[in-house]
Structure 1
Amino acid sequence: MNIRLASLEDERTLYDICVITGDSGKDATGIFDQPDLLGDIWVGPYLHLSADHCYVVQSDEGVPLGYCIATLDTTSFETVTDAVWWPAKQAFYRKPDISKQDSWSRDERIAHLIHNPLRSPSEFLEEFPSHAHINLVPEMQGKGWGKKLMQAMEDSLRSAGSQGVHLILSAKNQNALAFYKAVGYQIIFERPGEIGVGKKL
């Protein structure tokens, strides 16, 4: 196994990995009627618009088994995705009726994020301007590959001039929080349902 830059040819596999880990770190297979919703938020924009900072760990056969994808400048990335990524997805996924929010399905809760893209808190972006996402299939977890992927991502961002990177995770995903702390991240913010962790580069 080894780590390499991701490519658009990996997109389908990375979307599938996103689903396998899409329920606060647990398998979300079968939970969503439109499972590509997850990848369209947390994988696709990075592969298409920030490829220089996207890495996969692959099997000896070349099949991705995990990824760490990042963007150098969160503010610029959000501006670009607003212009060139979200409009097509918003046209594809129906906007949920906000007046029926209490009865939204899982798909509708995620589709809401297509129409109202997540934003990193601006007050932390001067210190931690970059952000990333990481996911590994269960059999790859706990074997050191997550740490190696994070190092590849961090080295890439550091070489490009970033002084810090942050990640946002579900407050339910305590395993992920423990992992981030173990590789040098600290909690930098908390908001309903989410925790932000950051590291100086």
Structure 2
Amino acid sequence: MAQNSTAFIRPVSLPSDRSALDHIFRVTCGESLKTEPSWTISSYLWCHPYPLLSPSTCFVLDPGNAEGPVGYILSTPNTRQFAKDWTGKYVPSLDRELLPEPNAKATDRVDEKPTQLLQLLYGDPEKALNFSYPGLVDKWPGHLHIDILPSHQGQGWGRKLIDTLLEALRAEGCNGVHLGMEAGSLGALKFYTKLGFSRYPEVLDGGVSGERGRTGGESQVIYLVKDITS
């Protein structure tokens, strides 16, 4: 497929890009999240905090018309600092009517999945940000999320977004970055491998799979890492 010549990559701009970022997340997120209220809660976990807390390492794919962004790469150069800012700056800004805190009342109103997501959002950013895996956030302190709408996939924009981000992370003094991907997405694994990412060098599921970087349980994820020193 030929690349759209009018599209370009630019820094994220708030508040004008906010609705487009949310739309991209909702279209591209995993099927297990595409029911409400999980859909909304998860967007506030894995999309909304990045442009607010780390705008210098967040970029969008702009189609060059009035439609708004059709892709994004959202990142932070320092996951530990990001977790602190999440608790100190992001959580206080959340709308409690839209996103009820996970207390007894909230538990009565939502089912198990949304309650778990709310617990991550309000009370456990370190779990949401992969602190439980030895060395991941220390050896590869940056992390990223990248999503592109189907209309602009397969045109080389993923590589361009990654390259743009890596340059910005280096400028911030970040020497390594990690990401998580669905374990069954062989196409994504091939894409990231071509860009120099490799599996996190630990077995994470107790040896069940025998695969480095792969978690166990229902939602299996493969963690990939990349050194980005100049």
Q: How many residues align?
A: 194
Secondary structure of the 2:88 match is: helix
Bigger Cα Rg: 2
The answer to whether 1:22 aligns with 2:22 is no
Q: Partner letter of residue 107 of structure 1?
A: P
Partner residue in 2 for 1:191 = 215
Is contact 1:96–1:111 with CA below 8 Å preserved after alignment? Answer: no
The answer to whether 1:137 aligns with 2:149 is yes
Distance 1:55-1:186 versus aligned 2 partners, 3 A rule = same
Distance 2:188 2:25 in 1: 14
Instruction: Report runs of 4+ in structure 1 exceeding 6 Å deviation.
Output: none
Distance 1:34 1:125 in 2: 26
Compute the RMSD of aligned alpha carbons: 2.5
Is contact 2:60–2:73 with CA below 8 Å preserved after alignment? Answer: yes
What TM-score, normalized to structure 1? 0.85
Secondary structure of the 2:17 match is: helix
Q: How does 1:66-77 map to 2 (within 5 A)?
A: 66-77=71-82
The alpha carbon displacement at 1:194 in A equals 1.9
Q: How does 1:92-107 map to 2 (within 5 A)?
A: 92-95=99-102, 104=111, 106-107=113-114
Distance 1:141 1:173 in 2: 15
Q: Partner letter of residue 194 of structure 1?
A: V
Distance 1:173 1:147 in 2: 17
Distance 1:134 1:60 in 2: 19
1:114 pairs, out of 100, 114, 121, with: 121
The alpha carbon displacement at 1:107 in A equals 3.4
The alpha carbon displacement at 1:95 in A equals 1.8
Structure with more of its chain in strand, by fraction: 1
**Which stretches in structure 2 are left out of the alignment for 5+ residues?**
1-6, 201-212
**Which stretches in structure 1 are left out of the alignment for 5+ residues?**
none
Distance 2:199 2:103 in 1: 32
2:19 pairs, out of 12, 23, 34, with: 12
